[in-house]
Structure 1
Amino acid sequence: MSTGLQGLPGREVIVMAEQALLGALLIQPRTLTAVSEWLEPEHFYLPHHTALYSAMHHIAKAGHPAVTEDRPTAEQGLEWVQQTTARGAEEAPALTPSYAHALINACPQPLHAAAYGRMVLAGHVRRTVAEHAARLGQAVRESRGSDTGIDLVCARADELADVLEQLTRRWRPHPGSLPRTETTTPSAQNEDIDGRVLDERVFLSAVTNRPAALTEVRTYLRAEDFADPVHQQIFRALAALDHRGDPIDPVVVVWEVQQRGVFASTPATPDDVLAICERSGADPAYWAARVIRHALLSTATDTAAHTGRLAADTTLTPHQLISASCRTLANLTAIRLRTRRAQGQVAPRQSTEPRRRPPPVTSRRTASPPSVQIKPFRVR
């Protein structure tokens, strides 16, 4: 997949790996048979490399003797180079005989073609994850201020989940590539934070005056869904009161908040909490849905940004990138499930179809593609 992403990390190394692989395939065409089982033309970064590898596929399928015979002659090897270069040049004029010669010189060891191919595939993994993370972030930006934009965000999240699922089936973990715990840093939110805080305040006022709604609201709303730290503590106080079966009114809430040390740890005062819990006739369920919608968009923004940072981290192996991205996406999936409950929808039934696993790896030097046992969550 040649995405053309700006600021691609490790671009020079990716290009070197692609050049070394193509050089190896020009020198030893028979190597293509093993590598082509798991490496596709769209896995290359540079378009003219994609064109050349695709030309190799086409000519090899036609039964070129340089690929099919055990001991091809020098003339057959030269013909292979000329034909693949000429066919690739039909799609990419940059493919010239001199460039083919440069590719051959760029290959340190033709016997290492499988290793070069795994590097190319790793670059494809990184670019693919980065591209879909960017799409998710763009969907969040487009959904701001739109009641229907949330569907686009969910669609992009599902696309990312599908991509991670496909990658897990292709890439096996390296014996030394243990999963790394990545700390998710909240990203700068491109949102109307004042509007979000106001919605939270309206909800807290409504639910304080209509506490019967708390039992249902608590099944899907969490304190972490609130942007304002004081609002988080007020909701925790309301949830605790409802859990204990205690009466709820503004004064009781102030007392519970004080017991939780809010006035000692924040600038909030009892009058501030009373003002937040003032009399209201608003519908708690409606405003709870708005609060969790804000939280979903915020989580989607953080998920996109963090996944993008993971893809840009060239110290992560593909296995570590895939597993960390799955864990990050799981946070978004969890709040999507709670959002569905807030909307009165039932979570989709999980598939019981057994996964088809690749055969066990018997050698680290095999040319077979990777495969990892991590399956990302997704919500339809």
Structure 2
Amino acid sequence: MSAGLQGLPGRDVIVLAEQALLGALLVQPPTLTAVSGWVEPEHFYLPHHTSLYSAMCHLAKAGHPAVAEAHPTAEQGLEWVQQAIARGAEETPALTPTYAHALISTCPQPKHASAYGHMVLADHTRRTVTEHAARLGQAVRESRGSDTGMALVCSRADELADVLEQLTHRWRPHPGSLPRIETSAPSTQSEDIEGRVQDERVFLSAAANRPAVLTEVRAYLTAEDFADPVHQQLFRALAALDHRGGPIDPVIVVWEAQQRGVFARTTATPDDVLAICERSGADPAYWAARVIHHALLSTATDAATHIERLAANTTVTPHQLISASRRTLADLTAVRLRSRRARGEVAPRQSTEPRRRPLPVAPSHMPSRASSPRQPTSLSPSAPIARSSSRR
């Protein structure tokens, strides 16, 4: 690294990329037209870089001759630098002619301005995803112990999904979109795990004594919604008994748990299961909603943490970050839909506009088509492919 680069403030890679881009735009003003359409002032990390780039964009829109002409004169170039620094210094006094000279002298290749611009945009994408993931995590922490806080969690999740949708259009897909990072482990330790396990226990007790509700509950509750591994196995046992349509009581649950190896794979004993399934007058549907409520908060926490870790991993490309984050949010959305069903709410419509279906392919009356009726009318996705009658 040259002495000039070492003397500039900040040694982070993104700072170097911003400095290289601004230096290229100062020494070759016409290159601004190649990046101004997709690099915005708010994409810069440092405030004085934002001010300087905003000043140059303003001068370009005003028709500055250094940008309008393909080969500006030395006088026009000097005027360009002076006016850009003067206008940027109105918002950020840190911009000085000395700093502008340092940016120009240390820019490796002004013709690589577009490459520097992509670096700036990539880091802004990473910071934007991190910010919205942190908001989601903060909403989860604020909503614990409050029934009204769930609306804030869902709102933050929707905001993150909208941001990812917008960023998708900026980065084209390419092969190898899977992130090169391991999925983080569940973070249930950060929540009130004792209260969550107690709610699970109350539900299992109520379900074992009022099994008629299990058929309805199984439509939205899954074993993965339980934090305690023993509770997961007991719910699977109850769900299996209900699915088979047989009788259900604490003794039968103990037998089913033994058949499933619960006592062999965990520290639970038959007495533990009997204690969990003790007589209860609680409403299973209410406590099932409580269980999935805890699961929703836990899933939101895991999603926010995982997306933040993805964004912090600089080996993950922007497209990989966006794709992996959207898959993570899809898991959260699935739990949200089941939570709405548990509360008896109707799932929101995805769109008020009807989906456009491909037009049906009319049968052709051309003689050449009629002679081979088994052949597909078209090889396009909108045309159904006829199946051979030999498979029937």
TM over 0.5: yes
1:73-103 Cα shifts (integer Å, max 9, x gaps): 1100110000011100111111000001111
**Maintained 8 Å contact 1:56/1:84:** yes
Secondary structure, aligned partner of 1:30? helix
Task: Say yes or no: does 1:61 pair with 2:61.
Answer: yes
RMSD of the alignment, in Å?
1.6
Q: Against the structure 1 CA distance between its residues 318 and 278, is the aligned structure 2 distance closer, same or farther, given a 3 Å change threshold?
A: same
2:205 alignment partner AA: S
SS in 1 for 2:92: coil
CA contact (8 A) 1:237 1:256 kept: yes
Q: Shift of the alpha carbon at 1:190?
A: 2.1
Change (3 A) 1:353 1:91: farther
- The aligned residue for residue 130 of structure 1 is 130
CA contact (8 A) 1:289 1:342 kept: yes
C-alpha contact 2:197 2:227 (8 A) present in aligned 1: yes
Counterparts of 1:67 and 1:135, CA distance in 2: 40
How many Å separate the matches in 2 of 1:23 and 1:251?
Answer: 77
1:336 counterpart letter in structure 2:
R
Give the superposition deviation at 1:106: 2.4
Q: Which amino acid aligns with 2:135?
A: R
Asked if residue 240 in structure 1 is aligned to residue 209 in structure 2, the reply is: no
> Do the aligned partners of 1:189 and 1:301 also contact (CA within 8 Å) in 2?
no
Q: Which has the larger radius of gyration?
A: 2
Q: Report what 2:142 is aligned to.
A: 142
> Which one-letter code corresponds to 1:210 in the other structure?
R
Once residues 234 and 178 of structure 2 are traced to their aligned partners in structure 1, the CA distance between those partners, rounded to angstroms, is 37
Kindly indicate whether the alpha-carbon contact (under 8 Å) linking 2:21 and 2:113 is maintained by their aligned counterparts in 1: yes
Q: Distance in 2 between matches of 1:319 and 1:353?
A: 30
Q: Distance in 2 between matches of 1:292 and 1:112?
A: 52
Contact 2:177 2:323 in 1 (8 A): no
Tell me which residue corresponds to 2:75. 75
Q: Does structure 1 residue 178 correspond to structure 2 residue 177?
A: yes
Residue 105 (structure 1) aligns with: 105
Pairwise CA distance, 1:69: 1.3
Runs of at least 5 residues in structure 2 that lack an aligned partner in the other structure? 1-9, 357-392
Distance (Å, rounded) in 2 between the aligned partners of 1:11 and 1:101: 18
Matched-pair contact (CA < 8 Å) for 1:48–1:95 = yes
Cα deviation 1:123-164 (Å, max 9, x = unaligned): 001101111111111111111111111111111111110110
Q: Which residue of 1 aligns with 2:297?
A: 297
Q: Structure 2 matches for 1:37-52, cutoff 5 A?
A: 37-52=37-52
| Cα deviation 1:32-80 (Å, max 9, x = unaligned) | 1120111110000000000001111111110000011122111001100
Partner residue in 2 for 1:114: 114
Distance 1:119 1:310 in 2: 17
Offset at 1:188? 5.2
Segments of 5+ residues of structure 1 without an aligned counterpart are: 1-9, 356-380
Contact 1:204 1:277 in 2 (8 A): yes
Aligned residue type for 1:192: D
Query: Does the Cα contact within 8 Å between 1:186 and 1:302 map onto a contact in 2?
Result: yes
Q: CA deviation at 1:171?
A: 1.2
Q: For each residue in 1:9-49, what CA deviation from the matched residue of structure 2 results, as whole angstroms up to 9, or x when unmatched?
A: x9700000000000011111111112011111000000000
Residue deviations 1:270-327 (CA, integer Å, cap 9, x gap): 1110110111110111100100000000111111111110010001111111111111
Distance 1:150 1:313 in 2: 29
CA distance in 1, matches of 2:233, 2:322: 35
Alignment-derived partner of residue 208 in structure 1: 208
CA distance in 1, matches of 2:119, 2:168: 16
Q: Within the alignment, does 1:287 sit opposite 2:287 as a pair? A: yes
* Whole-Å separation in 2 of the counterparts to 1:267 and 1:185: 22
Q: What CA distance in whole angstroms lies between the structure 2 residues aligned with 1:79 and 1:293?
A: 62
- d(CA) in 1 for partners of 2:179, 2:355: 28
Match of 1:13 in 2: 13
Q: Identify if the C-alpha distance between structure 1 residues 353 and 82 changes in structure 2 by more than 3 Å, giving closer, same or farther.
A: farther
* Letter aligned with residue 179 of structure 2: R
* Amino acid aligned to 1:328: T
Which residue of 1 is the match for residue 329 of structure 2?
329
AA paired with 1:106? T
- Where in structure 2 are the equivalents of 1:146-161 lying within 5 Å? 146-161=146-161
Q: Which amino acid aligns with 2:316?
A: L
Distance 2:219 2:177 in 1: 36
Instruction: Check whether the contact 1:234–1:257 (CA below 8 A) recurs between aligned residues.
Output: yes
Distance (Å, rounded) in 2 between the aligned partners of 1:157 and 1:176: 27
Give me the whole-angstrom Cα distance separating, in 2, the residues matched to 1:354 and 1:213: 36
AA in 1 matched with 2:329: L
Structure 2 CA distance for aligned equivalents of residues 49 and 274 of structure 1 = 67
Q: Which has the higher contact order (CA 8 A, sep 6+)?
A: 1
